Structure 1
Amino acid sequence: MDVAEVLREHWDLKPSRLEVLAGGMNSATWLATSGVERVVLKAVGLDDAAFEPGLELAVRLDDAGVRTGRPRWSKRGRLVERVDGRQVAVLEYVDGEELLPSDQEAIGDVLGRVHSAASLESGATADWLRFLLPFEESLDLEPWIRPAVEAATADAIALGPVSWAWLHGDPAAEAFRRQADGRVALIDWGSAMRGPILYDVASAVMYNGDPVIPAYLRRRPDLTAELERGLPTFLRVRYAVQAGYFAWRITTNLLTGISDPAENHKGLADARRSFGL
Structure 2
Amino acid sequence: MDVAEVLREHWDLKVSGLEVLTGGMNSATWLASCGADRVVLKAVGVDDESFGPGLEVARRLDDAGVTTGRPRASKRGRLVELVDGRQVAVLEYVDGAELVPSDQVEIGDVLGRVHSAAPLESGETADWLRFLLPFEDSLDLEPWIRPAVSAAIADAVALGPVSWAWLHGDPAAEAFRRQADGRVGLIDWGSAMRGPILYDVASAAMYVGRGVVPAYLARRPDLTEEVRDGLDVYLRVRYAVQAGYFAWRITTNLLTGISGPADNQKGLADARRSFGL
In the superposition, the TM-score normalised over structure 2's length comes to 1.00
Matched positions, count: 277
Structure 2 partner of 1:122? 122
- Say if 2:88 is the partner of 1:88: yes
SS at match of 2:30: strand
Structure 1 partner of 2:163? 163
Pairwise CA distance, 1:259:
1.2
SS at match of 1:198: helix
- Say if 2:211 is the partner of 1:211: yes
| Residues 245-264 of structure 1: CA deviation (Å, up to 9, x unaligned) | 00000000011111111000
Structure 1 CA distance, aligned partners of 2:145 and 2:48? 24
Structure 2 CA distance, aligned partners of 1:107 and 1:259? 27
Structure 2 CA distance, aligned partners of 1:84 and 1:134? 24
- Say if 2:223 is the partner of 1:223: yes
Structure 2 partner of 1:175? 175
Matched to 1:139, the amino acid is L
Structure 2 partner of 1:241? 241
Pairwise CA distance, 1:210:
0.7
| Residues 218-276 of structure 1: CA deviation (Å, up to 9, x unaligned) | 00000000001011000000000000000000000011111111000000000000000
Structure 2 partner of 1:257? 257
Structure 2 CA distance, aligned partners of 1:124 and 1:192? 18
SS at match of 1:82: strand
**Counterparts in 2 of 1:49-60, with a 5 A limit?**
49-60=49-60
- Say if 2:64 is the partner of 1:64: yes
Structure 1 partner of 2:3? 3
Structure 2 partner of 1:22? 22
- Say if 2:127 is the partner of 1:131: no
| Residues 50-70 of structure 1: CA deviation (Å, up to 9, x unaligned) | 000000000000000000000
Structure 2 CA distance, aligned partners of 1:86 and 1:231? 37
Matched to 1:79, the amino acid is L
Structure 1 partner of 2:187? 187
SS at match of 1:162: coil
Structure 1 CA distance, aligned partners of 2:24 and 2:275? 25
SS at match of 2:71: coil
Name structure 1 gaps, 5 residues minimum: none
Matched to 2:224, the amino acid is T
Structure 2 CA distance, aligned partners of 1:12 and 1:155? 50
Matched to 1:167, the amino acid is L
Structure 1 CA distance, aligned partners of 2:251 and 2:143? 14
Structure 2 CA distance, aligned partners of 1:181 and 1:121? 34
| Residues 99-146 of structure 1: CA deviation (Å, up to 9, x unaligned) | 001000000000000000000000000000000000000000000000
Matched to 1:121, the amino acid is E
Structure 2 partner of 1:12? 12
| Residues 134-180 of structure 1: CA deviation (Å, up to 9, x unaligned) | 00000000000000000000000001100000000000000000011
Please list every run of at least 4 consecutive aligned residues from structure 1 whose deviation after the TM superposition is greater than 6 angstroms: none
Pairwise CA distance, 1:23:
3.8
Matched to 1:257, the amino acid is G
Matched to 1:118, the amino acid is A
Matched to 2:120, the amino acid is L
Matched to 2:231, the amino acid is L
In the superposition, the TM-score normalised over structure 1's length comes to 1.00
Matched to 2:29, the amino acid is T
Structure 1 CA distance, aligned partners of 2:272 and 2:23? 26
Structure 2 CA distance, aligned partners of 1:134 and 1:68? 27
Structure 2 CA distance, aligned partners of 1:107 and 1:40? 23
Identity, in percent, stands at 84
RMSD: 0.4
